[in-house]
Amino acid sequence: MTSLTHHAQARSQQRGIPAPVIETLLDYGHEEHDHHGSRIIFFDHRSRAQLRKALGDEHYRRIERHLGTYVIVARDGDVVTVGHRRHHINRH
């Protein structure tokens, strides 16, 4: 499993985002750079389709409520925070 900072562990627990969802996000999520040295990883339409194909419909439905989740990964590869997307991710 990828290393989570203490902050990311706390946010994951507070926001009800289980570790398997974070791992799935890291494996299948779409990555954008935040222009500050970190990466934002989230499920876009393409990554959701790949995930559904890889997991199958039944397992996909079980994690579907977590597909609005994102993670921020620092330069060193540690997950710094996790959360639920409430806004469009700016790609500029």
Cα 19 from Cα 68, distance rounded (Å): 15
pLDDT 10s digits, 1-22: 579 999 999 999 999 999 999 9
Confidence of residue 34 (pLDDT cuts 50, 70, 90): confident
Task: Return the ∠ at Cα 6 (arms to 82 and 28), rounded to 5°.
Answer: 35
Q: For residue 88, what pLDDT is reported?
A: 61
What's the predicted TM-score (pTM) here?
0.85
Q: For residue 1, what pLDDT is reported?
A: 53
Cα 39 from Cα 53, distance rounded (Å): 25
Cα 54 from Cα 64, distance rounded (Å): 14
Residue 2's nearest CA partner among 23, 20, 18 is: 23
pLDDT 10s digits, 35-92: 889 999 999 999 999 999 999 999 899 889 999 999 999 999 999 999 998 766 655 5
Q: For residue 24, what pLDDT is reported?
A: 94
